[in-house]
């Protein structure tokens, strides 16, 4: 043990030029060297690469690194070579003679670390070839992709276990396995261990997900114009490196165009661009030629820019995992950075509808966790960490909710009226209607389609006549986001959830953050 302990510190110094290990690194390396499997949950930028590269250099034989992303592989291999370590990667972008050259260098003992895409593992020629080497160690990167509980399930990951079993049978022993991921809830952790059939004595190293240097904020600009104005405020006169995530390619292009027009050094990135163009734009951001990158979630994995000072989400993500991973691209260098989420009630209803069409209860519960984050009046950091299974801790005192001394409005009474109205409409007509209709009935609207269909005969007609329809709609959206109402089906109809039914007897207080004045003006204009 003593000699390998020294060896790993020596390698850290000689190869990487670092003086000490970071939290978790030494333990992971030791576990692998002992011959045990290990599951490592490390937030982005904790330094997981060293954790499998150093064992690869210490162990005899070959190390396979299974990695989902071609761009990631290339970067890793380039940086290893920069450190004087022979590594190669095999993926679909290589020509036949390049593959042959890699095979030769493996045979000659020159290459010690081989990165492969999971798709290759089902290739019989690859198995034949690799089984002719003493493979001592298999490292699985982005291991949450193996779990359908994760937010990034990749079917090809399911072939890893079959590959390991086939390889073990051929070489006469089972290589040790390490699985790394930057995001995993308790369920996903368990699933990874099971799906990879990790040995009973495997180690688990779970680092805290807290990123103390990140400031979290949830904001509610109510129109495209308000969003843009707020982005400009956040960017300030001398923008530091910023990523703005939008859901759709169209939004990405339009936000980027507006920022460019306003004189910002902005560019955009999404999967619809040509590969050449994508790597050009990625590099431009990486090397500081572009300040503001507007992008879909296609931008990020494989980006190793340490000094991203803020990440702005133009709308909600489908899950808190996805949100935290994207937001976590800020501040990898440990410097204070800001993560802002824009949220609007309309987005919520839209997301709910989209997810309800997928008819996937898991996706629905992930979205709900995301929505709770937008709704909580409590500490945002705590909301995230508790979701990832970390023990309840103190409020952070440093997020937009902790710092927000702003008033809360109690909408318990309004909520009861809304829930009752949804219930009564269904009772009276035998079917449910959408947000606009419910708001119109509560307002007591005399619009033709309300009267002609006899919605004025519902007992809750007009019971919120003192509120504007826009305000009623906003309250409905809050109830959707907090899980009292659900929006489902092609027509986006509103229905009570079990929690909504319960509320008739439970009568839990429902509060919202008070909106700033300009918002109230916009709401009364009917926006
Ligand atoms: P991730 O966990 O996101 O894969 P990386 O392995 O890319 O993170 O590491 C993030 C950064 O931290 C890299 O620039 C890496 O060189 C650096 N790093 C990793 N371990 C150490 C260490 N022990 N000391 C100093 N820097 C380190
Ligand atoms: Zn807080």
State residue 390's pLDDT score: 73
CA atoms within 13 A on the CB side of 206: 14
Phi, psi of 137 (to 5 degrees): -155, 135
Residue 48's alpha-carbon distances to 212, 404, 409, 446, 455, in angstroms, are 19, 36, 45, 63, 60
Q: Which residues contact 340 (CB under 8 A, 6 or more apart)?
A: 217, 218, 219, 234, 310, 311, 312, 313
Q: Which ligand is nearest to the CA of 332?
A: 1
3-state secondary structure of 36: coil
Residue 120's alpha-carbon distances to 146, 160, 276, 495, in angstroms, are 15, 10, 24, 47
27 within 8 A of 40, measured Cβ to Cβ: no
CA of 215 to the centre of ligand 2 (A): 9
- Relative to the CA of 21, which ligand 1 atom is closest? 23
Low-confidence ranges of the chain (pLDDT < 50): 1-5, 517-527
Phi, psi of 372 (to 5 degrees): -60, -35
What is the DSSP secondary-structure string of 283-320?
HHHHTTS-SEEEE-TTS-TT---TT--EEEESS--SSH
- Relative to the CA of 51, which ligand 1 atom is closest? 6
CA of 353 to the centre of ligand 1 (A): 40
CA of 332 to the centre of ligand 1 (A): 9
**Which residue owns the Cα nearest ligand 1 atom 20?**
47
Q: Which ligand is nearest to the CA of 400?
A: 2
497 within 8 A of 484, measured Cβ to Cβ: yes
CA of 211 to the centre of ligand 2 (A): 12
CA atoms within 13 A on the CB side of 477: 21
Q: Which ligand is nearest to the CA of 19?
A: 1
Q: Which ligand is nearest to the CA of 381?
A: 2
Q: Which ligand is nearest to the CA of 386?
A: 2
CA of 414 to the centre of ligand 2 (A): 28
CA of 313 to the centre of ligand 2 (A): 18
Q: Which residues contact 277 (CB under 8 A, 6 or more apart)?
A: none
114 pairs with which residues across the strands? 64, 88
State residue 526's pLDDT score: 38
**Which residue owns the Cα nearest ligand 1 atom 13?**
47
State residue 6's pLDDT score: 58
Taking the whole predicted model, whether its pTM rises above 0.90 is answered as: no
**Which residue owns the Cα nearest ligand 1 atom 12?**
47
CA of 425 to the centre of ligand 1 (A): 58
Burial letters 137-176, b for 16+ CB under 10 A, else e: bbbbbbbbbbbebbbbebebbebbbebbebbeeebeebbb
Q: Which ligand is nearest to the CA of 399?
A: 2
Mutate to test the pocket of ligand 1, among 49, 140, 208 (most ligand atoms within 8 A of CB): 49
Residue 376's alpha-carbon distances to 44, 383, 391, 417, in angstroms, are 25, 8, 18, 22
Helix intervals (H) in 155-299:
159-171, 186-195, 224-235, 249-261, 275-286
218 within 8 A of 401, measured Cβ to Cβ: yes
Phi, psi of 512 (to 5 degrees): -130, 160
ipTM score: 0.96
Give the tens place of pLDDT for each residue, 428-485: 999 999 989 999 999 999 999 999 999 999 999 999 999 999 899 888 888 887 778 8
State residue 385's pLDDT score: 87
- Relative to the CA of 45, which ligand 1 atom is closest? 3
**Which residue owns the Cα nearest ligand 1 atom 23?**
21
CA of 245 to the centre of ligand 1 (A): 25
Mutate to test the pocket of ligand 1, among 19, 22, 47 (most ligand atoms within 8 A of CB): 47
State residue 406's pLDDT score: 67
3-state secondary structure of 450: helix
- Relative to the CA of 22, which ligand 1 atom is closest? 23
SS3 of the chain: helix, strand, coil, percent, to 5: 50, 15, 40
Q: Whole-angstrom Cα distance, residue 164 to residue 200?
A: 17
Give the tens place of pLDDT for each residue, 345-367: 888 888 888 888 887 777 787 88
CA of 145 to the centre of ligand 1 (A): 22
Determine the length of the chain.
527
Residue 19 DSSP class: S
Q: Whole-angstrom Cα distance, residue 390 to residue 186?
A: 10
312 within 8 A of 234, measured Cβ to Cβ: yes
Q: Whole-angstrom Cα distance, residue 341 to residue 351?
A: 15
State residue 371's pLDDT score: 87
**Which residue owns the Cα nearest ligand 1 atom 27?**
47
331 within 8 A of 361, measured Cβ to Cβ: no
CA of 397 to the centre of ligand 2 (A): 5
Q: Which ligand is nearest to the CA of 8?
A: 1
Sign of the CA dihedral running 97, 101, 106, 112 = negative
Phi, psi of 496 (to 5 degrees): -75, 140
**Which residue owns the Cα nearest ligand 1 atom 19?**
47
CA atoms within 13 A on the CB side of 491: 9
State residue 5's pLDDT score: 46
**Which residue owns the Cα nearest ligand 1 atom 24?**
18
Nearest C-alpha neighbor of 285 from the set 255, 309, 258? 309
CA of 404 to the centre of ligand 2 (A): 10
State residue 440's pLDDT score: 96
State residue 284's pLDDT score: 95
CA atoms within 13 A on the CB side of 129: 18
**Which residue owns the Cα nearest ligand 1 atom 5?**
47
53 within 8 A of 37, measured Cβ to Cβ: no
**Which residue owns the Cα nearest ligand 1 atom 18?**
47
CA of 124 to the centre of ligand 2 (A): 52
3-state secondary structure of 390: coil
Q: Whole-angstrom Cα distance, residue 257 to residue 239?
A: 16
488, with CB counted inside 10 A (0-12, 13-18, 19+), is middle
Q: Which residues line ligand 1 (CB under 6 A)?
A: 18, 21-22, 25, 42, 44-50, 304
């Amino acid at each position: 043990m003593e000699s390998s302990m020294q060896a790993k510190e020596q390698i850290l110094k000689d190869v990487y030029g670092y003086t000490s290990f970071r939290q978790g690194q030494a333990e992971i390396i030791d576990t692998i060297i002992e011959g045990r499997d290990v599951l490592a949950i490390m937030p982005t930028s904790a330094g997981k690469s060293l954790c499998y590269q150093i064992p690869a250099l210490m162990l005899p034989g070959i190390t396979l690194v299974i990695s989902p992303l071609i761009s990631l592989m290339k970067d890793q291999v380039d940086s290893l070579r920069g450190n004087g370590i022979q590594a190669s990667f095999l993926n679909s972008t290589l020509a036949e003679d390049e593959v042959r050259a890699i095979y030769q260098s493996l045979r000659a003992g020159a290459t010690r670390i081989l990165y492969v895409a999971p798709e290759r593992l089902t290739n019989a020629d690859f198995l034949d070839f690799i089984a002719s080497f003493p493979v001592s160690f298999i490292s699985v990167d982005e291991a949450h992709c193996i779990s359908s509980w994760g937010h990034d399930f990749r079917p090809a990951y399911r072939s890893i276990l079959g590959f390991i079993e086939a390889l073990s049978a051929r070489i006469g022993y089972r290589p040790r396995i390490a699985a790394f991921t930057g995001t995993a809830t308790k369920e996903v952790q368990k699933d990874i261990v099971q799906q990879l059939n990790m040995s009973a004595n495997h180690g688990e190293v779970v680092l805290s997900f807290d990123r103390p240097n990140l400031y979290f904020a949830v904001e509610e600009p109510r129109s495209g114009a308000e969003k843009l104005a707020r982005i400009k405020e956040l960017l300030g006169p001398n923008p530091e490196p910023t990523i703005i995530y939008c859901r759709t390619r169209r939004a990405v292009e339009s936000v980027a165009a507006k920022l460019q027009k306003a004189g910002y050094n902005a560019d955009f990135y999404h999967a619809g661009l040509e590969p050449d163009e994508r790597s050009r734009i990625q590099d431009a951001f990486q090397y500081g030629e572009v300040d503001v990158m507007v992008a879909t979630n296609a931008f990020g994995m494989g980006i190793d820019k340490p000094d991203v000072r803020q990440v702005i989400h133009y709308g909600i993500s489908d899950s808190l995992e996805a949100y935290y991973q994207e937001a976590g691209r800020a501040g990898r260098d440990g410097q204070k950075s800001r993560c802002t989420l824009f949220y609007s009630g309309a987005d919520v209803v839209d997301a709910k509808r989209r997810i309800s069409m997928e008819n996937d209860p898991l996706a629905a519960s992930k979205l709900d966790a995301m929505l709770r984050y937008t709704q909580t009046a409590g500490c945002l950091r705590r909301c995230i960490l508790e979701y990832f299974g970390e023990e309840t801790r103190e409020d952070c005192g440093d997020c937009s909710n902790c710092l927000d001394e702003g008033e809360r409005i109690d909408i318990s009474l309004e909520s009861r009226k809304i829930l009752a109205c949804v219930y009564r409409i269904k009772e009276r007509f035998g079917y449910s209607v959408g947000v606009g209709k419910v708001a119109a009935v509560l307002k007591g609207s005399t619009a033709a389609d309300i009267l002609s269909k006899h919605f004025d005969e519902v007992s809750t007609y007009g019971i919120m006549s003192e509120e504007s329809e826009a305000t009623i709609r906003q309250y409905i959206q809050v109830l959707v986001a907090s899980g009292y109402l659900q929006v489902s089906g092609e027509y986006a109809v509103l229905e009570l959830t079990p929690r909504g039914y319960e509320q008739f007897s439970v009568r839990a207080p429902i509060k919202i953050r008070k909106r700033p004045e300009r918002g109230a003006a916009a709401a009364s204009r009917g926006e």
